[in-house]
Amino acid sequence: MVAELTIGRSSRSNAVDSMGKLSSSRLPWWLVGAFGLVSSFIIMAFYTEVAGWVGAYVVKAFTASTLSTDPATTTATFTSLITNPVLSVVIQWVDLLLIAGIILLGVSKGIERFTKRLIPILAILLLIVAVRSLTLPGAMQGVSYLLKPDFSKLTAATLLTAVGLAFFKLSIGMGTMITYGSYYRDDQNIPSSAMRGALSDVAIALLAGVAIFPAVFAFGFKPDAGASLLFITIPAVFASMPMWQVFMIIFFVLTFIASVGAQISLFEVTVAFINEKMKVSRKTATLATLVGMAVLGVTAALSNSSMANVKIFGLTPFDLFDYTSSNILMPVGGLLICVFVGWVWGYDNNRKSLTNNGELKNQGLVKALFFVTKYIAPLLVLHVLLNGLKLI
């Protein structure tokens, strides 16, 4: 994350052109940025569908049609949503139109500021759900499942999945941090910003796990249901609480707003590239991005209905986009970014950027970060990547 933000601020350019501007080498470093661009694009193909599900659950919360502690009921509610082909496409396209509209209206910065103020409220709600979840009968079985390590499951494939998740959750290897870094002020403390972001993400992830898994076992849900647990378990927890409908409405509204902030950043990667590289207006770049994402996104939206039997390498389009971005494009892109910063751009440039030309007294931290970026991170990511893909 530090490396990407540094590249972005130093180049003041889009993800694809940034490394080419910083390097005198004739090697095609722009391809690394292209990996990120492709990653952000295909992530939006399936992430907009998930955001559409959240939006649909906002409506369901108002109608109280999702509230039940019965696993069969909440599972059936979610299944009926994702297997409806027309509804799946509609909610995805409505979500995409909303994101494009925000960017066209130039209110994305306002949305981001608004989101930052609301995230603490969402965290408080998540804490309330976690407390309630822990008081349910059988909750400790879920806590044990979440926190007690089973080292027999620690395989190369598991590590690759974990690395992919880390890249995905921290928006690394998808061009987002480079693009955002290009908007950073010259006096921004990049290591501090990255550290706060990473620690906050870990804290929220743990809190979400405590909110979900005790309830999974208490209500008899399946713990391996994946991302759908948000839509199956959380409503069941709310159904067991006083004022359940109010809490559930607020929770899914805030979750949707949080997703909007993430989608804006992903959308912006492609918009910034088209705007700068093709010399067209931001309006044209936004509309072109909207159409492209809408066309590709249909395949992900229909992966649980009309295209459920369409498999590529044994994966539905939704799962293929997820696997390709999280387990291949982002780790490979991240690996090459570390190589670029450590072996091409070099220590002196890195030091000047991370100390803000000597204004910050963090030279020791910069040396440590550079050592990790140059030597440790590339070897670890490469080893996990090759093992997970069964290449070694």
How crowded is residue 259: how many other Cβ atoms within 10 Å of its Cβ?
21
* d(C-alpha 336, C-alpha 235), whole Å: 42
Radius of gyration of the chain (CA): 21
Q: For 116-133, what is the mean pLDDT?
A: 83
Q: Above 80 in pLDDT, residue 392?
A: no
Question: CATH number for the domain including 11?
Answer: 1.20.1740
Q: Above 80 in pLDDT, residue 65?
A: no
pLDDT of the residue at 286: 93
More confident residue, 153 or 228: 153
Q: What are phi and psi of 312, to 5 degrees?
A: -120, 120
Question: HSE (CB half, 13 Å, CA atoms) of 266?
Answer: 28
How crowded is residue 186: how many other Cβ atoms within 10 Å of its Cβ?
9
pLDDT of the residue at 247: 81
Which residue range forms the structural domain that includes residue 194? 2-388
Q: What are phi and psi of 39, to 5 degrees?
A: -60, -50
Q: Above 70 in pLDDT, residue 287?
A: yes
Per-residue CA distances from 388 to 154, 159, 381, 385 (Å): 11, 7, 10, 5
Q: For 82-89, what is the mean pLDDT?
A: 95
Instruction: Residue 252: name the closest of 72, 78, 76 by CA.
Output: 78
pLDDT of the residue at 43: 93
* pLDDT mean across residues, the chain: 87
Q: For 260-271, what is the mean pLDDT?
A: 87
Asked whether the beta carbons of 124 and 251 are under 8 A apart, the reply is: no
Q: For 347-366, what is the mean pLDDT?
A: 92
The residue type at 39: S
How crowded is residue 96: how many other Cβ atoms within 10 Å of its Cβ?
23
Lowest average pLDDT, out of 61-75, 99-113, 246-260, 317-331, goes to 99-113
pLDDT of the residue at 291: 96
* d(C-alpha 157, C-alpha 170), whole Å: 20
Q: Above 60 in pLDDT, residue 199?
A: yes
Q: Above 80 in pLDDT, residue 118?
A: no
Instruction: Residue 129: name the closest of 229, 224, 263 by CA.
Output: 229
Q: For 359-379, what is the mean pLDDT?
A: 93
Lowest average pLDDT, out of 111-125, 193-207, 348-362, goes to 111-125
Q: Above 80 in pLDDT, residue 172?
A: yes
More confident residue, 385 or 365: 365
pLDDT of the residue at 230: 83
More confident residue, 197 or 115: 197
- The fraction of the chain above a pLDDT of 70, given in percent, is 97
Q: What is the pTM of this model?
A: 0.82
How many domains does one find in the chain?
Answer: 1
